[in-house]
Amino acid sequence: MDLDHEFPELLNAADYFVDRNIREGRAKKVAVRCEGRVFSYEDIQLGVNQSGNALKSLGVRMEERVALLLLDTEVYPQAFFGAIKSGSVPVCLNTLMRPSDYEYFLNDCRARVLLIDARLMACIEPIRENLKYLETVVVANGEPGSGDLSFSKLVSSQKVELETAPTAPDDACFWLYSSGSTGQPKGTVHLQRDMIYSAETYGREVLGIREDDVCFSAAKLFFAYGLGNNLYFPFSVGATSVYLPDRPTPDAVYEVIGRNRPTLFFGVPTLYASMLEAEGSMDGVRCCISAGEALPADILKRWRDRFHLDILDGIGSTELAHIFISNYPGDIHPGSTGKLVPGHEARIVDEELNDVPMGEIGILLIKSGSAASCYWNKRKKTLQTMLGPWMNTGDKFYRNEEGYFYFAGRTDDMLKVGGIWLSPIEVEACIIEHPAVLECAVVPANDKENLVKPKAYVVLKQGRTGSPELQDDIKNYVKNTLAHYKYPRWVEFLDDLPKTPTGKIKRFELRKLANNND
């Protein structure tokens, strides 16, 4: 699929990802496994139709938003595609946030109906009186409180047939909220075409996903990354998804893998590092995928040594639906983000949007057929980010002559030390190779002359204890591996690195901490 691909005049994503599987003879094929429960594509289609009819019975009309605050269970695809098939727009909300965040999300998207997992009700109760637009709360996977509705009872009473809403490729399909790591979260509006474009490019042409695959994503469905991994990629070819509602600890992940034997496993660098510290098997997995943060080469090496499996590192974004640069099976360059995913174009530019010479660091712009249409009610930010057909990713990259891209941090993460640009990612990748280090983040801090120098915040492996001697050892390790100016002038040990709910390191918090301390 290329950038000029023409979609039909009418297009509904639920028809493509659910009903098409029935038409193509996969009604009895297993679509979802969750905690021992098994659902065929026929089961999912029934749930989609009844969920869509339930929303219509509550007065939800075409183009109106429906908020989903759901854990990863079989309810998710039914509610998500049920909304889309009925013509309404599901808004996927992060399940790891605070009540004040949900107050913002629900008032910003103006959803009149909220579908929520019973285990998350405590997040909503404190803010109910502040929700200006919410009228109906539908509770799944548990009993509702007074005045709320039961999802199972509401859905089971509906008709089993649902006419597909006559949506167009450019109609709103679903929303995701950006992580908000550098500001207020933004409602990112995706279109009916976007999931199809990602599935046909990254899903088919990079992963080579096929009907006999079993997908398991530790990244949850409310993330752009997880939504593709564990919902629309497998549904695009009639494969099987495995859901884990609970937190993806290494032990929990290994248990799911042992019980379900997925062929494709999707994680993030932090999880891969933690899994290397725990006991478990990856039997049955043919390929591992990583995104969210740059994958350190040392983690890839140790993973290969232990499991004899590659990890395909890539980069994606909420705005572009999924991964747009990736390593490929059989073509993995440790430390590189890889090459462009088919159907995508890239430019690397300076601050005036002029292309920089090959090999120089600049800002990455991407052109994609899966790009979001806008940020909801944020025209200024939309214009700053969505530059005609080009999306400003806010990431610093350089590209070599062979077409491999190398991540050099965010636009506000780069350090200039002694007049030379320094990528904190490069220093982090070096530090994490130290045998005592589990995780690290490098941020700018000011020395006594108020000059910028790198500072490392380090989380040690279990059983290791911080000391001045270990601080010096880490500094010397970097000095002996990289150019001398790149070594961290300070090393501070933390129990945990601050992270967003999507697992990204909150570098702005560490920058504040560094400049308050030094």
3-state SS assignment for residue 183: coil
Residues 6+ apart with CB under 8 A from 112: 58, 59, 60, 64, 133, 134, 135, 136
The phi, psi pair for 303, rounded to 5°, reads -65, -45
9-25+39-191 folds as Rossmann fold (3.40.50)
- The chain-wide mean pLDDT, for the chain, equals 94
181 pLDDT band, cuts 50/70/90, is very low
User: What's the pTM?
Assistant: 0.87
Helix-helix angle 269-276:297-307, to 10 degrees? 50
Q: What is the pLDDT of residues 438-450, one digit of tens each?
A: 999 999 998 876 7
pLDDT at 517: 67
The residues near 190 (Cβ < 8 Å, ≥ 6 apart) are 172, 173, 174, 175, 176, 321, 370, 372, 373
Residue ranges per structural domain of the chain = 9-25+39-191, 193-411, 413-517
Which pLDDT score, from 0 to 100, does residue 418 have? Answer: 64
Taking the C-alpha atoms of residue 134 and residue 110, their distance in angstroms, rounded to an integer, is 7
Q: Give 89's Cβ-side CA count (13 Å radius).
A: 23
Angle formed by the axes of helices 269-276 and 250-260, to 10°?
90
Q: Of 107-116, 118-127, 450-459, which gets the smallest average pLDDT?
A: 450-459
Tens of pLDDT, residues 456-513: 999 999 999 999 999 999 999 999 988 788 999 999 999 999 988 777 888 889 989 9
Least confident of 111-115, 394-398, 407-411, 431-435: 407-411
Q: What is the pLDDT of residues 251-277, one digit of tens each?
A: 999 999 999 999 999 998 889 989 999
Which tens digits make up the pLDDT trace of 357-392? 999 999 999 999 999 999 999 999 999 999 999 999
Quick check: 129 pLDDT over 70? yes
Give me the pLDDT at residue 419, please. 59
Architecture of domain 193-411: 3-Layer(aba) Sandwich (3.40)
pLDDT at residue 518 greater than cutoff 60 = no
Residues 6+ apart with CB under 8 A from 106: 67, 114, 131, 133, 134
Q: What is the mean pLDDT of residues 398-411?
A: 91
Q: Output the pLDDT for position 426.
A: 86
Mean pLDDT (whole number) for 76-95: 97
Of all residues in the chain, the percent with pLDDT exceeding 70 is: 98
Mean pLDDT of the 219-224 span: 94
Q: Which residues of 156-177 are buried (b: 16+ CB within 10 A; e: fewer)?
A: eebeeebebbebebebbbbbbb
| Residue 126 predicted with pLDDT over 70 | yes
Tokens describing residue 221:
């469905």
Q: Does domain 413-517 have CATH number 3.40.640.10?
A: no
Nearest to 90 by CA among 138, 142, 160, 147: 138
Structure token digits, residue 129: 């009186």
Q: pLDDT at position 98, please?
A: 85
Average pLDDT, stretch 50-67? 98
Do the domains spanning 9-25+39-191 and 413-517 agree at the CATH topology level?
Answer: no
Query: CA torsion sign, 304 to 309 to 311 to 312?
Result: positive
